[in-house]
Chain A
């Protein structure tokens, strides 16, 4: 047995160190062709499979390596914020949550990827291009900081059997805004008469949790004429009477529906998944929730529910009260390259590959269509136009081909604070539970919004 001496220990340590140093060029060489990437885990397994396929195709075509980490939604969000704060970043990541594109562009934390987007510029929808443009408060300029890869709108999901049980048909659904949502109040009234003790008409997320309540309020704000609350120049227009009136109407309708007992009482404290669970449990006739995850989650195990029972009538929303179409607000998943990334060249090369219509189109389709493509041309594919599918054609029509709007937070990150500090939620809750008049609730909300925008002056 070898005798352990101080000399042998020190000698061994030196040898190990030398091996590390001498071996380093090989590691460095490997690193030059490798990029690390973080991406949010899908709601269904197929989403992850589709991403892995895109990465594998790139690796095969380029000879480079992408170290892909698929991370659950909430932990990825924390991981990204920690990474950007500490400066130890991957080469590529997605905008989870979507507003980090704008928040960290403001702080000059992303590489500009105009050259990548330029390669496919003619293919993208205008809304997609607007959504990856952001203001950099350090350079005092706008830049393109993300490459859009998929999109989503907020459809209404309706249980056909509950509507029919109440004595109505889906075709009875009114086509204008208030009448459309009022219809579900009548459905609830009829169901209650039949002894359904715990079924509610409407699944509004009147909660201060997650992003659903913000999306819901913004849809109502747009439908009531308040789309100019933030203009593309990044300015907020709280003194615009039309915007204020729309916000008051939105708070009144959403809070009022809860107050009047047409929304499940627990909605006041729902988390992000609670409305999905409640809808799947048939606690309510209709839910308003982003993406087609509600349907896609059922497709394999309960195809009858996917094909027959759940209706996504109107995709998103009906016309406004004057009968004019209401553009859907579209949220985009984009890929960014953080400053501090070690391999920007490979990251950009991968994004150029990934953003090709064929590749990014297949990525979205393999994910079962939960997400929308970002290029109108892709909507023509047999997958999206499949006449046997009750959801996809309408989904892509409303979310990609019809006129759409970007989320106003793309114009100014202050709107991300509005979303994350649940300013709209608190206005809805004030009306729903505290007996506050909608005008007073919106005055309070507008005061907070004004303070938030004061921190983000776009020059």
Chain B
């Protein structure tokens, strides 16, 4: 073999560099072990994350599904309901959680006891809780109307018989169920604010509302925003509150995208249409996820 052929058969320097880069600086057996450990994770990721997402995208990829979906009068009401559910359900809940997290910062054993009671709605299984609410709101024999009649001789309304009161019942149920959880998250955020900052601010006269506006809220703002974004994403996929409180009724008037997806997929036996209904939320979900990811990278807080 002459020297020219040896020069030709040697790998180019950039290939060496690429190979090293791909191997993360690992050599020989180390690299094999690394691959062996990564493969199970990759398999799980592909099977349980990538495949379902791609399959869902494929199921909802037929453009002819969307005119059919948009022409459904139930879908049109559903979009309005979803927007209201998100706007009221998320913001009222998060605002209440913000206020309550401040309340629960107060010292004392009775506050801890109260907090324990307060988190109960979050701790109870949600399906049984929502079914109980459905029964409580029954117009004829439900607890609420019977209590109104027994105590005040008032004939209560049929809460689940009208679109807006039924949707209102769903939103209130959601807020009741999830406010404790987000209160705990914000409470943890408040507790993480160093005592020195609060003491210093107090010395400077930033107490009460001023302390909240200038110290607490700026320090909580990122957490609040991230919590709100997460809550919005969770709520978009929420099925249980609507399904078990109002059942999507009366006359299919209180569906949200998650429940109409199930209705189309299984009640109408048209799974692709059901997926399309859920996919129609993507224009909202994708920007939310992008903003969320960006916010999660933010580490600095400005006071």
Contacts and interface: CB of A to CB of B under 8 A. Distances in A.
From B249, B268, B271, residue with most partner A Cβ within 10 Å:
B249
Interface in A197-239: 198, 207-209
B268 A420 contact: yes
A283 B141 contact: yes
B269 A265 contact: no
Interface string A83-97: 001000000000001
A374 B267 CA distance: 26
Contacts of B250: 207-208, 268-269, 429
Given A77-B266, A425-B251, A426-B251, A268 B161 contact: yes
Contact of B139 (A9, A266, A426): A266
A78 interface: yes
B141 A281 contact: yes
Contact of A209 (B29, B166, B249): B249
B140 A207 contact: no
Interface in B157-195: 158, 160-161, 166
Interface residues of B, number: 25
A32 interface: no
Contacts of B271: 81-82, 85
B265 A266 contact: no
Contacts of B140: 198, 264-266, 278, 283
Nearest to B142: A266
A186 B101 CA distance: 58
Interface residues of A, number: 32
A410 to B, nearest CB: 15
A185 interface: no
Given A78-B266, A103-B269, A208 B252 contact: yes
Contacts of A97: 269
A420 B264 CA distance: 9
B60 interface: no
Interface string B259-280: 0000001111101000000000
Contacts of B160: 266, 269
Interface of A: 6, 9, 77-78, 81-82, 85, 97, 99-100, 103, 198, 207-209, 264-266, 268-269, 271, 278, 281, 283, 416-417, 420-422, 425-426, 429
Given A198-B140, A420-B268, 10 more contacts: A6-B33, A9-B36, A100-B269, A207-B249, A208-B252, A265-B161, A268-B250, A269-B250, A417-B268, A422-B252
Interface of B: 29, 32-33, 36, 138-141, 158, 160-161, 166, 246-252, 265-269, 271
25 contacts: A6-B33, A82-B271, A85-B271, A97-B269, A99-B269, A207-B249, A207-B250, A208-B249, A208-B252, A209-B247, A265-B161, A266-B138, A268-B250, A268-B251, A269-B160, A269-B247, A271-B247, A271-B249, A283-B140, A417-B268, A420-B267, A421-B268, A425-B251, A426-B251, A429-B250
